[in-house]
Amino acid sequence: MTLPRIFLVGVFVCLGVYLFATAPEPLPDGDVEMAGCRHPVNAVFDGVNAINEVARTVYTKRIVGGGKAAGLTFGEEWQEPGVEQGPLPALFLRATAAHLETLPPRLGLYLGSDAPINKSNLFGAAQLSVFDQIKTTREAVYSEDPQSGFVAMYPDVAGVAPCVSCHNAHPDSPKKDWKLNDVMGATTWTYPASEVTADEFLDVVDAMYASVAHTYDSYLSKAAGFEVPVQIGAEWPREGVRVLPEVGVFLNEVKTQASLAVLEALTRDRRHPDGQPTQNALAAQADGGQAPCGF
């Protein structure tokens, strides 16, 4: 059983103990009911997007920001032989998306902008129309596309200083006056089905975490071969300390920060196979009813 599943099962067990100890009537069999539960794809998008945002923030702030202070460099040629660089945050996402495409859940991920450094990330006309709306509202837009299936686009906000300084200083950047909290682009997700089972939801979450870990591990493998190898262990890079955290340390930080958002996405807007929307267990007990999905 993977760590996300262990965490979520633990939450449900604790919730069940609380309810059985205090509620006047027992809950239905959670395993049976949960298996039949259906989750809207928008909730899946919200969950994986939360993981992506946390992973990129941790990578940008603590690996790129801290790494630069420690003397490490980051750039577009990081995968080239003999180049001692790590991936820029946008390239970290691109590598994560590429690995995600090789995994079974059929989840698509794309980062675009109206002013990208790499022209391959330039939005087309249809995407620009949605992006203009996102820049105004700063809220996700959900839609359906005949070719891609179900689509969600989320604002990509400059939340940490390295994002701004890197884009403003880059020679290929078409925009040089980015500021913190600007909407620099948008993250687009695609999935072929309108809803998923609980197991399918967790499979997607597992695939996203695995893809983040794979990309970060690729950087560690590169860093281990630098002329002056980077020490890899439990510490994070900072001024005067040329180290990188191992994969488990990096991924645990991402999971710690993203877990509540993933859990919230998993436990809302569920639908029972009979077509009825569900309630969470606490609300159902308070109303004297039962929770059709078991939690």
pLDDT tens column, 102-136: 999 999 999 999 999 888 889 998 899 999 999 99
**pLDDT in the model for residue 19:** 30
Report pLDDT for 279: 46
| pLDDT for the residue 82 | 93
Entry field: residues in the chain: 295
Residue 6, pLDDT score? 55
| Residue spans of the chain under pLDDT 50 | 7, 11-33, 279-292, 294-295
State the residue for tokens 């340390």: 249
Distance, in Å, from the CA atom of 229 to the CA atom of 72, rounded to the nearest integer, reads 11
At 216, is the secondary structure helix, strand, or coil? helix
**Residue 118 pLDDT:** 83
Q: What is the per-residue pLDDT for 26?
A: 43
CA angle 78, 247, 263 (to 5 degrees): 115
- Dihedrals phi, psi of 155, to nearest 5 degrees: -65, 140
Record the pTM. Answer: 0.82
Q: Identify the pLDDT of residue 119.
A: 84
